[in-house]
Amino acid sequence: MTNKKIGVLVSGRGSNFQAVLDKIRNEKLPIEIAVVISDSADAYALKRAEQAGIPHTAIVRHDYRDKASFEEAIDSRLREAGVELVVLAGFMRILSADFVNRWPQAIINIHPALLPAFKGLDAQGQALKYGVKIAGCTVHFVDAGMDSGPIILQSAVPVYDEDTHDTLAARILVQEHTILPEAVKLWCEGRLEVRDRRVKIRKE
């Protein structure tokens, strides 16, 4: 079986990227991380990629005249690497509709909330402020909206009275490290079918 090639976009520590890499290696999945791209040259995720022997590069927004040329550079690098699925693993920039439309149902994102609640930045803080008793995370296909694409997987965690932003974020992150790699696996196995807004997961 030919390996499916994925590209990972990151902005920071890269713990979700590491979780995907660990699942691929531990389960010997026919998936290759063909390239890791960060919008920050200082992202620790690039160090992780280097240590793992994975091609990696920084494509920094201020090096380009506008958002279109910045995204064109990312798109070109992904295609050069033969990427079939783009995984946003803590990528802190909103991709334009033009970029997203080049990758129909081939970009997935992890968001630290139970969508459609608490879209956008600081979802954990939003959840605490609202006073919810259950929080969690969502893997979804990326569309032209803000955290609005079809939902692939979700995982819930309790919110405790004594929670701070950091304790809740840490509890959610544990679940992110489970469902993002699983969603990558499901996509690469061809088991995800989108019907309107619903994602059906085919049995093996």
- The pLDDT tens digits for 19-34 are 999 999 999 999 999 9
- Rg of the Cα trace of the chain? 16
Q: Are 145 and 112 in contact (CB under 8 A)?
A: no
pTM, two decimal places: 0.96
C-alpha 154, offset from chain centre:
13
pLDDT at site 123: 98
H-only helix segments in 31-66:
44-51
Is there a catalytic annotation at residue 165? no
Two tokens, residue 26: 């531990």
Express as a percent the part of the chain with pLDDT over 90.
98
Q: What value does the mean pLDDT take over residues 99-105? A: 97
Q: What value does the mean pLDDT take over residues 168-189? A: 98
Residue 112 clears pLDDT 80, i.e. is over it: yes
d(CA 29, CA 93) in angstroms, rounded, equals: 29
Split at pLDDT 50, 70, 90, the class of 2 is confident
Residue 83 clears pLDDT 70, i.e. is over it: yes
Q: What number of CA atoms fall less than 13 Å from residue 58's CA on the CB side?
A: 15
User: Which contiguous run of DSSP H or E holds residue 15?
Assistant: helix 15-26
111, 140, 165, 177: the catalytic one is 111
Q: Are 185 and 192 in contact (CB under 8 A)?
A: no
DSSP-assigned letter for residue 2:
P
Split at pLDDT 50, 70, 90, the class of 50 is very high
User: Which contiguous run of DSSP H or E holds residue 32?
Assistant: strand 31-38
d(CA 109, CA 149) in angstroms, rounded, equals: 9
Mean pLDDT (the chain, rounded)? 97
Q: For 126-166, how does the pLDDT look when each residue is reduced to its tens digit (9 = 90+)? A: 999 999 999 999 999 999 999 999 999 999 999 999 999 99
DSSP-assigned letter for residue 79:
H
Split at pLDDT 50, 70, 90, the class of 37 is very high
Token pair 């995984």: residue: 87
Q: What value does the mean pLDDT take over residues 183-201? A: 96
Residue 204 clears pLDDT 90, i.e. is over it: no
Residue 1 clears pLDDT 70, i.e. is over it: no
Two tokens, residue 149: 């694409």
Residue 150: is it exposed, middle or buried by C-beta count within 10 angstroms (0-12/13-18/19+)?
Answer: middle
